[in-house]
């Protein structure tokens, strides 16, 4: 066969493959949108595309996040369809709608009567009675209990001495080590904080096993639900089962113990509804799993990124250190108290700016509970809506030079707070947000007053999924401040 004939044959094969591919994609889109066109409402879907059958646009999504361009996924759609803030797509195996503009985010997050929980396969693995899985009155009741335990002034005042103590001890250990992997270190720190405050558990081999199970559980939380040995889902289900058994043992011990506990588990065990009913063991276990999951890596990564960003912006560290040296001069050697945090004004700006730039929780998931008409579009019942929290955070319209770390931007009284939603919003706003801020504030106090640190690989690539982290774990040199 001549070279020319081979070229013609190859072109023909390529043409057929491309035609088949676009027909297949067209058919996928037709199958998804046909029921809506047939319902006669005349409502149209938001603009967008659906990609391949089943896989949808996961490949494009993963590519953007892997290539360290997580905002590209939204940008491409904004360029193609305008900044309407609603775009159809298909991800995690279901047709979905991305919500990206502040007003759209507000609508979706506020209307929990229209949009229910929608995390892919979450309730199966987390537990059906966890706060993140339930709706309506049970959701409100559980949130009230969790709020009293972890976010009320009394709850936080109870936590603070143990938190202060844990942070001081751990920072000394880091300095003794010299070179540390900051991702591992902050994960361990938050796990210890959680174990002490939630369960009154001290560091031990048993706690290390628990942390291992948590890590295995978290790796499978967004995996495809395929229960076969070797899959992330399989590991997660088994880690979850062991965690449940450990929590059950703790609950059983408490029921017969004479000891007086003052931690989150005890608050939840003592909580009563208006009819005087306590939470069942299943509810206690599901919610301990949910709380520990929600509060573990999110806080750890926020601490980690404050250290990385401050190392890269020494002028911000100097300002932060000045604020904390003032506080230190006032309080001397005594532990931090809740009222001391009122003087941490620049600190809160550093935390806000870190949360905005890093986007620990880049997007959320909801299920449309009934057909919703919004902004001229139909959001069909049963579809998934993804509030894309990071979109406004990284949009120059709301935050000029969005890719830069500028804590001072929060001095501006005209900052658009509707565009800033690191903790979500509405009925499911993060119930641990005050606790998270308290942890990071206490951490920043001790670390800025007593220590110095330097990045050993400042240009490390960032892996954005499921949470942003340097691929090498952020090696740093950590030492006592002379
Ligand atoms: C910087 C750290 C944190 C960030 C960025 C963060 C972010 C979020 C976000 C965005 C949501 C909303 C989820 C949704 O609407 O689907 C959420 C919910 C939640 N968070 Fe956090 N979180 C953090 C720390 C914590 C901590 C420390 C705890 C507990 C001690 C916690 C407990 C929860 C719980 C229980 C929910 C579920 C609330 C509900 O469904 O009603 N979070 N968090």
Distance 431 CA to ligand 1 centre (A): 6
Per-residue pLDDT reduced to its tens digit, 253-280: 999 998 888 888 999 999 998 889 999 9
pLDDT at 478: 98
pLDDT at 28: 67
Residue 305 has pLDDT above 80, yes or no: yes
Residue 452, CB half-sphere, CA atoms under 13 Å: how many?
6
pLDDT at 8: 85
Cα–Cα–Cα angle for 15, 74, 471, nearest 5°?
Answer: 95
Residue 124 has pLDDT above 70, yes or no: no
pLDDT at 75: 96
Mutate to test the pocket of ligand 1, among 433, 438, 444, 468 (most ligand atoms within 8 A of CB): 433
Supply the residue whose CA is at minimum distance from atom 20 of ligand 1.
430
Mutate to test the pocket of ligand 1, among 129, 386, 423 (most ligand atoms within 8 A of CB): 423
Supply the residue whose CA is at minimum distance from atom 39 of ligand 1.
428
Mutate to test the pocket of ligand 1, among 126, 150, 298 (most ligand atoms within 8 A of CB): 298
Q: Residue 156, SS3? A: helix
Supply the residue whose CA is at minimum distance from atom 36 of ligand 1.
430
Distance 60 CA to ligand 1 centre (A): 27
Q: What element of type H or E holds 471?
A: none
Supply the residue whose CA is at minimum distance from atom 43 of ligand 1.
430
Percent helix, percent strand, percent coil in the chain, to nearest 5? 60, 10, 30
Supply the residue whose CA is at minimum distance from atom 11 of ligand 1.
430
Per-residue pLDDT reduced to its tens digit, 295-304: 888 999 999 9
pLDDT > 90: percent of the chain = 67
Distance 315 CA to ligand 1 centre (A): 31
Distance 430 CA to ligand 1 centre (A): 4
pLDDT > 70: percent of the chain = 95
pLDDT at 38: 63
Residue 150 has pLDDT above 80, yes or no: yes
pLDDT at 120: 67
pLDDT at 401: 97
Distance 101 CA to ligand 1 centre (A): 21
316 assigned ligand-binding residue: no
**Ligand 1 atom with the shortest distance to the CA of 440:** 1
Would you say the C-alpha torsion 224, 227, 228, 233 has a positive or negative sign? positive
**Ligand 1 atom with the shortest distance to the CA of 426:** 15
pLDDT at 106: 97
Distance 302 CA to ligand 1 centre (A): 13
Per-residue pLDDT reduced to its tens digit, 312-355: 999 999 999 999 999 999 999 999 999 999 999 999 999 999 99
Q: How far is CA 179 from CA 136, 317, 320, 415, 456, in A?
A: 49, 20, 23, 39, 9
Mean pLDDT in residue range 144-161: 89
Supply the residue whose CA is at minimum distance from atom 1 of ligand 1.
299
Please answer whether residues 216 and 233 qualify as being in contact, where contact means their C-beta atoms are separated by less than 8 angstroms. Answer: no
35, exposed or middle or buried, with CB in 10 Å at 0-12, 13-18, 19+? exposed
Q: Could you give the CA distance from residue 446 to residue 428 in angstroms, rounded to a whole number?
A: 32
pLDDT at 31: 66
Supply the residue whose CA is at minimum distance from atom 41 of ligand 1.
428
Distance 50 CA to ligand 1 centre (A): 30
pLDDT at 262: 86
What own/partner pairs with CB < 8 Å and gap ≥ 24 does 228-234 have? 233/121, 233/125
Share the mean pLDDT of the chain.
Answer: 91
pLDDT at 218: 85
Q: Give 151's pLDDT tier (boundaries 50, 70, 90).
A: confident
Mean pLDDT in residue range 7-36: 74
Q: Give 219's pLDDT tier (boundaries 50, 70, 90).
A: confident
- In sequence order, the β-bridge partners of residue 378 are 373
Out of 61-75, 207-221, 403-417, least confident range: 207-221
Instruction: Count the helices and strands in the chain (H runs, E runs).
Output: 16, 12
Per-residue pLDDT reduced to its tens digit, 419-470: 999 999 999 999 999 999 999 999 999 999 999 999 999 999 999 988 899 9
CATH 1.10.630.10 assigned to domain 101-480? The reply is yes
pLDDT at 241: 93
Per-residue pLDDT reduced to its tens digit, 379-427: 999 999 999 999 999 999 999 999 999 999 999 988 999 999 999 999 9
pLDDT at 91: 87
Q: Could you give the CA distance from residue 377 to residue 78 in angstroms, rounded to a whole number?
A: 16
Residue 123 has pLDDT above 60, yes or no: no
Residue bearing the bigger pLDDT, 14 or 322: 322
Mean pLDDT in residue range 228-233: 88
pLDDT at 9: 82
Pocket of ligand 1 (CB under 6 A): 131-132, 143, 146, 150, 290-291, 294-295, 298-299, 302, 360-361, 364, 422-424, 428, 430-432, 435-436
């Amino acid at each position: 066969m001549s070279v020319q004939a081979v070229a013609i044959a190859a072109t023909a094969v390529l043409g057929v493959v491309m035609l088949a591919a676009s027909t297949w994609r067209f058919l996928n889109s037709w199958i998804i949108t046909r029921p809506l066109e047939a319902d006669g409402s005349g409502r149209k879907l938001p603009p967008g595309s659906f990609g391949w059958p089943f896989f949808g646009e996961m490949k494009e999504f993963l590519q953007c996040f892997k290539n360290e361009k997580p905002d590209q996924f939204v940008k491409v759609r904004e360029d193609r369809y305008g900044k309407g803030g609603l775009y159809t797509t298909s991800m995690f195996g279901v047709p979905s709608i991305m919500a990206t503009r502040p007003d759209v985010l507000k609508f979706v997050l506020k209307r929990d009567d229209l949009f229910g929980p929608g995390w892919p396969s979450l309730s199966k693995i987390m537990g059906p009675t966890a706060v993140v899985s339930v709706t309506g009155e049970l959701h409100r009741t559980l949130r009230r209990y969790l709020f009293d335990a972890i976010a009320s002034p009394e709850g936080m005042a109870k936590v603070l001495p143990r938190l202060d103590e844990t942070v001081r001890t751990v920072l000394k250990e880091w300095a003794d080590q010299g070179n540390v992997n900051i991702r591992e270190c902050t994960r361990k720190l938050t796990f210890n904080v959680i174990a002490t405050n939630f369960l009154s558990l001290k560091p031990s081999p048993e706690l290390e096993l628990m942390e291992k199970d948590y890590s295995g559980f978290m790796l499978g939380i967004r995996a495809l639900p395929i229960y076969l040995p070797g899959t992330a889902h399989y590991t997660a289900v088994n880690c979850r089962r062991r965690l449940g058994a450990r929590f059950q043992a703790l609950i059983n011990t408490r029921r017969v113990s004479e000891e007086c506990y003052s931690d989150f588990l005890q608050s939840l065990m003592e909580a009563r509804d208006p009819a005087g009913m306590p939470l069942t063991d299943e509810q206690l276990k599901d919610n301990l799993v949910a709380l520990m999951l929600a509060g573990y890596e999110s806080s750890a990564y926020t601490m980690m990124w404050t250290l990385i960003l401050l190392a890269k912006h020494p002028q911000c560290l100097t300002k932060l250190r000045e604020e904390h040296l003032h506080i230190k001069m006032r309080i001397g050697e005594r532990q931090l108290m809740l009222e001391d945090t009122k003087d941490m004004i620049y600190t809160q700006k550093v935390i806000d700016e870190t949360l905005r730039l890093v986007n620990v929780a880049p997007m959320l998931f909801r299920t449309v509970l009934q057909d919703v008409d919004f902004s001229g579009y139909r959001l069909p019942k049963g579809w998934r809506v993804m509030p894309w929290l990071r979109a406004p955070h990284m949009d120059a319209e709301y935050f000029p030079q969005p890719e830069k770390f500028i804590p001072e931007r929060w001095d501006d009284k005209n900052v658009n707070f509707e565009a800033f939603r690191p903790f979500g919003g509405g009925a499911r706003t993060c119930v641990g947000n005050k606790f998270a801020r308290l942890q990071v504030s206490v951490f920043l106090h001790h670390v800025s007053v007593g220590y110095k640190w330097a990045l050993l690989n400042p240009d490390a690539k960032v892996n954005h999924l499921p949470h942003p982290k340097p691929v090498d774990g952020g090696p740093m040199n950590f030492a006592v401040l002379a």
